[in-house]
Structure 1
Amino acid sequence: MHVTNEDLDQLWKALRMLGWGAVALIMTAPLVAMQFTREVNWTVTDFVFAGVLLIGGGAAIELVAWRVRNPVIRIGFSLFVIAIVALIWIEGAVGIFH
């Protein structure tokens, strides 16, 4: 089976849509949860922190993807950014590193 650049471009477009959809879902999940339980209590600062972190990570991925044509580098950098964002998110949520 031969994978063409067009196939990789189509995959990248699908992954981009999935990624930005995930950002939107992650940002709206606490807002919805706050309507049903007192266990989730985000402040404006929490939403700003999450927005800057998630949108900033997504923007970094988009910038590199726009400049780099090699799909292996795109995917590798994307996974790296996702891992960093996840570590920062975890640290902000439960503080495992202090």
Structure 2
Amino acid sequence: MENKRFLLILGGIGVLLLIPAVPMQFSNEGNWKPFDFKTMGFLLLGTGLLCVVVLRAVKSLIARLIPCGGILLVLLVIWAELAVGILG
């Protein structure tokens, strides 16, 4: 079961990183560099693994949703800061 979750996370990261990669092949609108893909892959992997740790450690549905929601919120804030600099 643990390997399936890990493979699902890796597959999801691959699919999410294809979203900006495919249009970049046909247009000059997106300009992600390899560093950008590595950074986003690291953030997505860290988020996925932290959520798996929460899912393994906590049994109650509500107690799972609150930390995972917080982890996702932190991901979104970091992503927005890296993208457009919303905090400063």
TM-score by length of 1: 0.74
Q: Which residue of 2 aligns with 1:54?
A: 44
Q: Bigger relative contact order, structure 1 or 2, given CA contacts below 8 A and separation 6+? A: 2
Give how far 1:81 is off: 0.7
Give how far 1:22 is off: 5.4
Unaligned runs of 5+ in 1: 1-15
Mapped pair 1:91 → 2:68: no
> Computing the radius of gyration over CA atoms, which structure comes out larger, 1 or 2?
1
Give how far 1:93 is off: 0.2
SS in 1 for 2:20: helix
- 1:11-68 per-position Cα deviation (integer Å, ceiling 9, x unaligned): xxxxx8xx94754432111110111111111111000100010110110000111111
4+ aligned runs moved over 4 Å, structure 1 = 19-22
SS in 2 for 1:39: coil
Unaligned runs of 5+ in 2: none
RMSD value, Cα? 1.8
